[in-house]
Structure 1
């Protein structure tokens, strides 16, 4: 993780948020506690909090301090396939850990043919609710309001939402925007052996029939709509940066102040 490698050098704290039971939502009481902790834990400021938790609206709790949100999305089918094989074979991060579905040799293609639960397209309903938040509607599979709210939050509440296909660009843009946290992040990522830290073991790409089957589902279409929205938004922001030797770079300050009054 780039943040853990840079936190000491750049003088910030990194904290992983672990929710009991690996849940993606908190009770309203726990949300309030979390908001209080983040805003009052002076010893851990500045801090970068990360975890698999849905968007939390600090405004709802009357907080005058608000976090800067960032996120990164992945193509929904790629995510589903990777998770399917991850449950069976793990990854290169902790290769000796026995996963929940260890020993199951059924391929993703076979799973789709048999219409088994692990490859159900409904399992792709994940990135929409994460960006949507803690409202119950966010977690109703196929809810159109949830999709629209996720788009709204992405455009208005998140500083930057990247995509895994453009991870280097995402890191370069973060470094240019928040150098106090991410100074040196791009070069570290580019030349570090950790650039691809976690790879699912024995992952097999789905065949064309499987892809067509998944793409007929409502959930895939909705999650893909969010993903495409994120890509469009990311590309727009990326165009505002410069390029040097093919790398994203900050153009430097492109504004100035003039006609300042009153005159001395």
Structure 2
């Protein structure tokens, strides 16, 4: 089981290799991106800020399409409507109803081993939320710069 794999310390369970690591993807091809987690995290964040207008998250595809439509209306006008039209069918088709969660101690081990990845995810999620809030405030006729 996954739990046994983590508890026995097998590296395959950690998913820290380049092919499975979004942090390394956003960091770049320099060897430091796979060798030094702290530098990799800092560079990945810097690259997101410098090179990506929008980075979405799977947990909020509706919000992702909303921000695409607002930021790039010439390319993505109606994207959110198309997503919403197909969302119900997609969710039922790909829903995993038999999901089993690992015990908390296994989750704690993985959070520690993947600390930089969790940090990066929180960073991306915060940017996503900030951008959505900005556009929602604009839609409501409010000053988007004020909290």
- Corresponding residue to 1:130 among 25, 36, 40: 25
The structure with the larger Rg is: 1
TM-score when normalising by structure 2: 0.77
User: Match for residue 106 of structure 2?
Assistant: 210
TM-score when normalising by structure 1: 0.46
Q: Does 1:177 align with 2:71?
A: yes
Paired residues, number: 139
Tell me the CA shift for residue 222 of structure 1.
0.7
- Corresponding residue to 2:122 among 215, 228, 248: 228
Tell me the secondary structure at the aligned position of residue 122 of structure 1.
Answer: coil
Q: Does 1:166 align with 2:23?
A: no
Q: Relative to total residues, which structure has the larger helix share, 1 or 2? A: 2
Distance 1:117 1:145, change over 3 A: closer
Q: Distance in 2 between matches of 1:151 and 1:214?
A: 21
8 A Cα contact 1:176 1:250, kept in partner = no
- For structure 1, the residue ranges without an aligned partner over 5 or more in a row are 1-106, 244-248, 255-264
Q: Relative to total residues, which structure has the larger strand share, 1 or 2? A: 1
Report the aligned-residue RMSD. Answer: 2.9
Q: Distance in 2 between matches of 1:176 and 1:196?
A: 28
Q: Distance in 1 between matches of 2:61 and 2:92?
A: 10
